[in-house]
């Protein structure tokens, strides 16, 4: 199971990133769970300085931008 983590305080971009990640994972037919990491201290533990951020299984793949579902599929695939 992939653990997809959305790193952000809950802003509109963070919420859209969560939607895009969910869409990408479902289109790929992945077994996944989405976790929203909203505490600043927890986000900083990932080394992310710009939100939103996207991590999979604890590894940061993107930060500071809002990728489309298609872009996320390339990262997850």
- Choosing from 11, 12, 39, 50, the catalytic residue is 11
49 catalytic, yes or no? no
14 catalytic, yes or no? yes
- Choosing from 7, 14, 24, 56, the catalytic residue is 14
The 3-state secondary structure of 3-31, one letter per residue: EEEEECCCCHHHHHHHHHHHHHHHHHCCC
- The helix or strand, by DSSP H or E, that contains position 44, with its residue range, turns out to be helix 40-45
Backbone angles phi, psi at 51, to 5 degrees: -100, 160
Catalytic residues: 11, 14
């Amino acid at each position: 199971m992939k653990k997809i983590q959305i790193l952000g305080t809950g802003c509109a971009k963070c919420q859209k990133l969560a939607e895009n990640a969910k869409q990408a994972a479902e289109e790929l037919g992945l077994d996944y769970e989405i976790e929203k990491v909203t505490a600043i201290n927890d986000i900083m533990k990932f080394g992310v300085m710009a939100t939103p951020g996207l991590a999979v299984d604890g590894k940061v793949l993107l930060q500071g931008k809002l990728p489309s579902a298609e872009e996320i599929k390339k990262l997850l695939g």
